[in-house]
Chains A and B, each alone.
Chain A
Amino acid sequence: MFLTVYEQEMLEGKHGKGIRMAMEVLVKMGELYGAGRLLPVKRAHIDAAAYTTIWDAGTEFIEYLADNGAKCAVPTTINPLSRDIKNWRVLGASEEFALKSKRLEDAYLKMGVIPTWTCAPYQSTNAPCFGEIVSWSESNAVNFVNSVLGARAERLPDMVDVCCAVTGRVPAYGRYLDENRKGDVLFRLEGFDDTWFRDSVDFAILGYYIGEIVVNKVPVIEGLPKRTMPDDFKALSAAAASGGAVALFHAVGLTPEAPTIEAAFQETSDYAVHIVTPADLEAMEKRLNTASDDKVDMVLMGCPHLSANEIAEVAGLMRGKKVCEGTQFWIMTCETQYNLAVRSGDAQILEEAGVVITKDTCLMEMDEGDRRWEGQNFVTNSGKAAQYTPAINGVKIHMAGTAGCVRAAVEGRYSGEVRR
């Protein structure tokens, strides 16, 4: 693998033991994946922030880097933590658990991260430009910046994301290379009337469906409406990276590398075509709906973190209503979006209605095996949460759109017809 003089110095330890460790990991990875060289990056996003994603072993690794002089070489944002920094006690974390999170937070602050603690950095502080090479992690965020913004990113593993941020380098492999950004399978949407794709939950179900089929290939989607919004693409990105391992998709006429089908497939024509019908998505939704009764213990929105725009939409529907006794309604976001919602008055509307708005964290990352929600029924609009909360938290799922989520929270029960 070719290394510049500066990269060679980093590898030899001239810039400290932390940087040396990070470079050793990147060189090993680059050699394994046939990267001829490292690419310089202008910005980074780190996934490995929550204690319950990297545990004690990951904490030791991050502390090794931080304690041995490694600092972010480029502007670097970072994912949600295992605790809400201000409200962890209220949300039920133990002192011991909060301290484990704090240990990691301190190591990252020492490295100089921008403490966004969000999984949707592209909606607040860190939105790459078209064609920009970035060091990115968090599966939904990789998919979003690659596909929707047209930046160059790959699904960097936790800890490798940190190695890249502190060296400002990433191995030249995978979706960083032109030829690997070509579409592999065309998904043609057929038979969807105008009632479809008006709520992000439809995009989530489509994303999960496509992800399961293509796993790690590049899907090209034809037939999404022009009115598709970034929040919709966020839901699709997250679900396609949960049902599968999609790092890049193209939506014809909507995403920047797919002005036409031909462009999405880089002028090749040997791709498979997969027709998607409403019946396919209805069957997909049925499989994600693991709950068998209409009880609602928790309504969960914000996977990925809600934008101020989405919070305003929920607030508009919640105005004048109250969350049903015996039901919880959690909205997950970051401090940045929350502050916007406070300025607009939407946060106050929601909190007065009994909605809990969490910052800096994620319900799935707050649970250290204590399974406090075990056996409960969750209503969510997120395909990603539908994949992970049953496994991590032992809950059952009803999928619903935004209006359906609000209605479920207010009534304390789920009725199938409220989805759209």
Chain B
Amino acid sequence: MRITEYTVVVEGCADAEALVSDTSLSFWGGVNASTGMIQDVHHSLNGQNLKGKILCVPYDRGSCSSSGVMLEMIRQGTNPAGILCIEAEPVLALGPIIGEKMYKRGIAMRTVSEETFRSIPENCRIQFAEDAIVVQ
């Protein structure tokens, strides 16, 4: 699948295995910043490691501290390579944006329509290319 209708929230290209869930995620409390492990027992991706992957969740949720956790993940290099969602609220986007200012690296982030998001299969590889999102 080649998606050409999307919005870039945080610039950047990425190509990695995807972790896909229809449940939104709070990075604070939901992810271990030092390891990248998802630890929310109520989340379908519990026990999976985000590091280097492309995370696909519909929205953010929960704590305002998720930006802090994401910034620390960027510092430690445990961050996902990219995030794909329906809406990227500031709590999700601003950690990577501050990461770019402080460490010159962020987390590529793009949004797609709800319909497109729901069509992404559970097991896939996703590429954030210059001009498209390629789902394989």
Q: Do A and B bind each other?
A: yes
A residues contacting B by CB (< 8 A) are 21, 24-25, 28-29, 32-33, 47-48, 50, 53-58, 60-61, 137-139, 142, 154-161, 211, 215-216, 241-245, 287, 290, 364, 369, 387-388, 390-392
Contact (Cβ within 8 A) B41 A158: no
Looking at the assembled complex, report how far the CB atom of B94 sits from the nearest CB atom of chain A, in whole angstroms: 4
**Using Cβ atoms and an 8 Å threshold, which residues of chain B touch A245?**
24, 59-62, 89, 91
Chain B 7-26, CB-CB to A under 8 Å as 1, else 0, gives: 00100000000000000101
Tally of chain B residues near chain A (CB < 8 A)? 42
Q: Would you call B32 an interface residue if the criterion is a C-beta within 8 Å of the partner chain's C-beta atoms?
A: yes
Q: Which residue of A lies closest to B103 (CB)?
A: A57
B85-115 with Cβ < 8 A to chain A: 87, 89-91, 93-95, 97-99, 101-103
- For the complex of A and B, the 4 pairs showing the least CB-CB separation, nearest first, are A54-B68, A157-B67, A55-B72, A53-B65
Q: How far is the CA of A57 from the CA of B87 in the complex (A)?
A: 25
Establish whether residues A216 and B71, one from each chain, have CB atoms under 8 Å apart when the complex forms. Answer: no
Bound state CA distance, A154 and B93, in angstroms? 15
**Docked complex Cα distance between A154 and B9 (Å):** 19
A156 adjacent to B90 (CB under 8 Å): yes
Q: How far is the CB of A180 from chain B (nearest CB, A)?
A: 12
B66 at the A interface (CB under 8 A): yes
Q: Once bound together, how far apart are the Cα atoms of A78 and B124, in whole Å?
A: 42
Partner of A60, one of B24, B61, B87, B102: B102
User: Closest residue of chain B to A157, judged by CB?
Assistant: B67
Picked from A25, A56, A241, A390, the residue with its CB within 8 Å of the CB of B72 is A56
| A/B interface sample: 12 pairs, CB < 8 A | A53-B63, A54-B68, A54-B72, A57-B72, A57-B102, A58-B71, A159-B68, A160-B94, A215-B58, A244-B61, A245-B61, A387-B29
Given A55-B72, A142-B64, decide whether A157 and B41 contact each other with a Cβ distance below 8 A. Answer: no
- Enumerate chain A residues within 8 angstroms of B91, measured Cβ to Cβ: 155, 157, 245
Cβ-closest chain B residue relative to A390: B41
Determine if B64 and A61 form an interchain contact, defined as CB atoms under 8 angstroms apart.
Answer: no
Q: Which of A56, A155, A364 makes the CB contact (< 8 A) with B90?
A: A155
> Chain A at the B interface: mostly helix, strand, loop or mixed?
helix
Q: Which residues of A contact B75 (CB under 8 A)?
A: 55-57
Known contacts A215-B58, A216-B59; is-contact A58 B24 (Cβ 8 Å): no
A155-B89, A155-B91, A156-B90 are contacts. A57–B71 as well, Cβ < 8 Å? yes
A residues less than 8 Å from B95 (CB atoms): 157, 159
Q: Could you tell me the distance in whole angstroms from the C-beta of B93 to the nearest C-beta in chain A?
A: 7
- Is A391 a contact partner of B39 (Cβ separation < 8 A)? yes
Cα separation A158 to B89 with both chains bound (whole Å) = 13
From A47, A54, A244, A287, name the one whose CB has the most chain B CB atoms within 10 angstroms.
Answer: A54
Q: Is the CB of B64 within 8 A of A392?
A: no
Residues in B neighbouring A54, C-beta threshold 8 A: 65, 68-69, 71-72
Total CB contacts across the A-B interface at under 8 A: 139
Q: Are A157 and B90 in contact (CB under 8 A)?
A: yes
- The answer to whether A161 touches B71, judged by C-beta atoms less than 8 angstroms apart, is no
Whether a CB of chain A sits under 8 angstroms from the CB of B80 is no
Q: Please determine whether B34 and A369 come into contact, CB atoms closer than 8 angstroms.
A: yes
User: Which single residue of chain A is at the shortest CB-CB distance from B65?
Assistant: A53
Contact at B65–A47, with CB atoms within 8 Å? yes
Q: What separation, in Å, do the CA atoms of A244 and B60 have in the docked complex?
A: 8
Chain B residues near A53: list those with CB within 8 A. 28, 63, 65, 68-69
Are the C-beta atoms of A216 and B69 separated by less than 8 Å?
A: no
C-alpha spacing A317/B10, complex, angstroms: 52
Kindly provide the distance from the CB of B28 to the nearest chain A CB, expressed in whole angstroms: 6
Q: Is the Cβ of B34 less than 8 Å from the Cβ of A138?
A: no
- Contact present for B62 and A241 (CB under 8 Å): yes
Alpha-carbon distance between A21 and B97 when the two chains are bound, in angstroms: 12
B74 interface contact, C-beta 8 A = yes
B30 within 8 A of A: yes
Known: A56-B72, A245-B59. A157 touches B64 (CB 8 A): yes
Chain A residues within an 8 Å CB radius of B71: 54-55, 57-58, 61, 159
A24 touches B101 (CB 8 A): yes
Q: Is the CB of A391 within 8 A of B41?
A: yes
Whether A157 contacts B24 in the complex (CB less than 8 A), given A54-B68, A57-B72, A139-B62, comes out as: no
Q: Do the beta carbons of B30 and A391 come within 8 Å of each other? A: yes
B24 touches A29 (CB 8 A): no
Residues of B within 8 A of A138 (CB): 64
B90 contacts A139, C-beta separation under 8 Å = no
Nearest Cβ in chain B — how far from A98, in angstroms?
19
- Which residues of A are found within 8 Å of B90, using beta-carbon distances? 29, 32-33, 154-157, 160
Residues of A within 8 A of B98 (CB): 25, 61, 159
Flag if B94 contacts A215 (CB, 8 Å).
no
**Set of chain A residues within 8 Å of B24, measured between Cβ atoms:** 215, 244-245
Complex: chain A residue closest to B62, CB-CB: A242
B33 within 8 A of partner (CB)? yes
Chain A residue with minimal CB distance to B91? A157
Question: How far does the Cβ of B110 sit from chain A's closest Cβ, in whole Å?
Answer: 13
Residue of A60, A139, A157, A388 touching B94 (CB-CB under 8 A): A157
